[in-house]
Amino acid sequence: RDPLENCFASPKANNCYEWVSTIVNASEILLDFIGSFYKVNISLPRNYPLKPLKIMWK
């Protein structure tokens, strides 16, 4: 699958269950916010996918 151009994610150092993602607003629908970016913390439980992941906007 082709990667998204405006979304990046990587694990935190020394912890593959904690990820940080950045989403860049490139939408022409929200022109006032174009170029802004949003940080997201993603926590994967050790028994994922049996338990859901947690997502927190920073």
Region 27-42 average pLDDT: 75
Amino acid identity of residue 48, one-letter, is: Y
Instruction: Kindly indicate the confidence band of residue 18, based on its pLDDT and cuts at 50, 70 and 90.
Output: very high
For residue 27, the model assigns a pLDDT of: 66
Q: If we measure between CA atoms, which residue out of 12, 24, 21, 5 comes closest to residue 58?
A: 21
Mean predicted lDDT score pLDDT of the chain: 86
Tokens matching residue 11 = 């694990």
Its pTM stands at: 0.72
The CATH number given to 7-57 is 3.10.110.10
For residue 26, the model assigns a pLDDT of: 65
- Domain residue ranges of the chain, discontinuous segments joined by +: 7-57
